[in-house]
Amino acid sequence: MNILWAWNWLGAAVLLAGFGSAALYGRKRRWADAGLVLAGAAALAALLSEPARPMRDADELAIASDVPGDALARSLLAVPEAGSLALTGHGLTDAQWQDVPARPLRWTAPNGGVLLLDFARTVPLGRAFTLTVRRSQPVAAWRLQLLAENGQVLADAAAPVAASAQAQASAPAMAQLSVSWLPPLAEKLVLRARLLDGNGKALAEGPVPLLVTEPVPLQVIGRFGAPSFDTRVLNDWLTASGAIVDWQTTLGKGLSRTESARAALDKPNAQFIDAAWFESAPQPARAALLGQVAQGLPLVVLGGNASQPAVWQRELALPLAPQSATTEREDTRVFGAAAQQIALAPASFNPVPQAAAWRVLATDSRGKPWLWQRSWKQGGIVWVGVADWHRHAIASPVALGAWWQTLIDAAVNGGAQGVVWEQPDAMPVAGMRTQVCAQGVAQAKPLSIQGMPDIAWQARSGRAEGLCAAFIPQRAGWHMLSSGGAQHAIYVYGERDWPQWRHGLRQQATRAYAARTLSDASVRSQSAPLPAWPFALAVAAAMLALWYRERRLTS
C-alpha cells in the first residue's frame, strides 16, 4: 500500500537525534540499545509526519443524508477515513460540510421541487423589506403573498401566465417572484409567506422573521450655489429619515440661508454640493473641500445645474458632454417598476464614456448610467447625472425615497455602527448547530443567549474583521443575544418549517462542497490519514525496552 508522508522539521530533528544517540550506543558496542533508539525515533518521526494513504486505496463511504440521527453522525465521523463519498438524499447542511475534509462526491439531486428564499433578517426603520422566492418547478400563474402576523395580506405578486410557461420550458432555471413592504414600526415580527398556484391552492407556507431596528442617523453636510426645488426635496427627505443635516444655500451675492445641525457632526458621512457651488467657489474653498475628500469624506455632486465643463476637466479630470436636446426624452432614466416607477431627466452635462478616472457606479432599469464615481486618495467623488426629482415628491414619494436610498447606499458611508451582527446560516433550525458572527465586539466579552450558558467568541477563517460563536438552539422562536452592551435577536425555525426551503439549502451546500472538493484537489487532500496508535505504541514499546535495559545495566 502506498503511504504519503508530510515533510516535518520536527520529525527530521527527531531522526537526527535518534541517529546521534544510536551512534553513541554503537561506540560502546551496545547494538541492541542502538537498534531500540533507532526504532523509537523512526516511529516518532513517522507519527509527526502525518502518514496517510491515497484515497484510491481507501473505501467509498455511503451516507444517507435524509436519515438523521446516530447513523448519520457515525457516517460523518468516518469521512476522514474514506476515499470517496456516495451520498443519497437532499444533501447535508453547510455547517455539516464544513466539519468534514474534502472528498470526491458521487451524488445526484433527487427529483422534486425545492425553494430558495432570500430576504434581509434585519431592516432599519424606513427601509423597504423585500422577499424573493425562487422555485425549481414553477407552475402556471403562481403567486407569492406576504402576510402579517394576523393574516392580513401585506404584499402580493403574481407571475404572468406567459412568464410561467417560459420558466417551465427553460428548466432547470428557477423562476422567482418578489414582494416588498415598508415596516411602520421598529419591532420584532414573524411574518408569513404563502405560495399559491393559479387556482389559489397553497403550495407552501412558512414563517418569515424580520427584526426592524431604529436607524442610525446619517450626518450630512450640504453646500449649494443656488436654491432649487431638488435640494429642498433632498433636505426634506434627509430630515424625515432622521439625518443630522448642516445645510447652507447661496441665495445671491453675500446672501445665504443656513440650517444648523441639531447635533454636533463629529463624524460626517458625506457632503452634498451642487455643480453651481463648486463652479463659483474660490480656489481655497475648492482645495479645502478636496482635502476633506482625500481624508475619506465622500463627496456627492448634484450635476443638474452644471454649466462650466472646463472647471470639472481642470479640477477633477472629469470630461463632460452636453445633453442633446433632441435625445432628452430617449435619455430619460427610469427607476422602479409598475406603479412605483419614476422617470428622471438627465442632467445638462454628464461624463463622457471615455472618462479614464471615472467609472459608472449605477445604471437605471434600462441599463443607462446615471451615477459616476472616481477615487480621490482615501475618499471618493460621485456625480449624480439626473435632475428634476422634485416632480415626483408628491405623486410618488415611496418610489422617490427608494431611489434616494439606492443613491445613499451606493455613494455614502453608512452611519456610525457600533456592533454589526451577521447570521451566516440562512435557516437556523432547532436542534441543529448554527452560528452567529459580529463585528465590533470584544473577544473578552462572551456571547450571552437567553436560557443558555455563555459562549466564547472565536475567530473564523474568511471573517478576518469579525468573531463568531456556534451554539445549538433547543427551541424555535426568537432568541435574545447580548455581548457587552450590544444586543441582537435571531429567529430559529421549527423542524417542520419550510421543508422545501431546507431541501434547497442542503442541495446548495452540497453543490458548494463538491466544488470545494474539486478546487482543493491535491495529493494530500485526496488522502485519508492512517491511524496514529500503532506508531505511538511502537514509540512507547521502544522507550520502555530501552529504559528496562538501562536499569538492568546500572543495577
Is the pTM here over 0.85, yes or no?
A: no
Q: Which residues are paired to 435 by β-bridges? A: 470
Q: What CA–CA distance (Å, rounded) separates 410 from 305?
A: 22
Q: What CA–CA distance (Å, rounded) separates 173 from 162?
A: 16
Give CATH for domain 219-412. 3.40.50
Q: What CA–CA distance (Å, rounded) separates 399 from 403?
A: 6
Pick the CATH number of 428-492 from 1.10.30, 2.60.40, 3.40.50, 1.10.3470: 2.60.40
pLDDT in tens, the chain (555 residues): 456 566 667 778 888 888 888 888 888 888 888 888 888 888 888 877 777 666 554 578 899 988 877 888 888 888 888 878 899 999 999 888 988 888 888 899 888 889 999 999 999 888 889 999 999 877 778 899 999 999 999 999 988 765 445 545 444 567 889 998 989 899 999 999 999 988 889 999 999 999 999 888 889 999 999 999 999 999 999 998 889 999 999 988 878 899 888 888 888 999 999 999 999 999 999 999 999 999 999 999 999 999 999 999 999 999 999 988 888 888 999 998 666 789 999 999 999 988 888 999 999 989 999 999 999 999 999 999 999 999 999 999 888 988 998 898 888 865 555 688 988 899 999 998 899 999 888 888 999 998 899 999 998 877 767 899 999 999 999 999 999 888 999 999 999 999 999 999 999 999 999 887 754 444 345 566 677 788 888 888 888 888 888 888 877
Q: What CA–CA distance (Å, rounded) separates 305 from 248?
A: 17
Task: Give residue 247's identity as a one-letter amino acid code.
Answer: W
Task: Give residue 307's identity as a one-letter amino acid code.
Answer: S
DSSP code per residue over 8-65: -HHHHHHHHHHHHHHHHHHHTT-HHHHHHHHHHHHHHHHHHT--EEEGGGSPEEEEET
Buried b (16+ CB within 10 A) or exposed e, 97-128: beebebbbbebebeeeebbbbebeebbbbbbb
Could you give phi then psi for residue 382, rounded to 5 degrees?
-120, 135
Q: What CA–CA distance (Å, rounded) separates 45 from 157?
A: 66
CATH architecture for segment(s) 122-159+174-213: Sandwich (2.60)
Cell of 316: 477633477
Residue 375 contacts residue 296 (beta carbons within 8 Å): no
Helix (H) or strand (E) holding 400: helix 397-411
Task: Count Cα atoms within 13 angstroms, Cβ side, for 132.
Answer: 7
The pairs formed by 475-479 with CB atoms below 8 angstroms and a separation of 24 or more are 475/430, 476/430, 478/188, 478/190, 478/209, 479/449, 479/450, 479/451
